[in-house]
Amino acid sequence: MPQVAKAGKRRRQGATRRRRGGPARSRNSIDDWLNRLVSIAVFTALIVGVSALLVTLLWG
């Protein structure tokens, strides 16, 4: 008869396992750079959109 582990005894983990340490720092720096670039692009798009809306409402 197979033994079934109780739910409380097994350690639960998330669906995605993260790496611990390692030489992946260069990839993280690229990810940080891309995150910053996307943030700047979104911020710029918001400023342009708000200014276009203001120009349309005030002088349109």
- What's the average model confidence in pLDDT over 16-25? 65
Share above pLDDT 90 across residues of the chain, in percent, rounded to a whole number: 48
Cα–Cα distance, 39 to 12 (Å, whole number)? 34
Q: Where are the domains of the chain?
A: 33-60
pTM: 0.55
Cα–Cα distance, 34 to 41 (Å, whole number)? 10
- What's the average model confidence in pLDDT over 3-27? 66
Q: Which of 1-5, 15-19, 50-54 shows the highest mean pLDDT?
A: 50-54
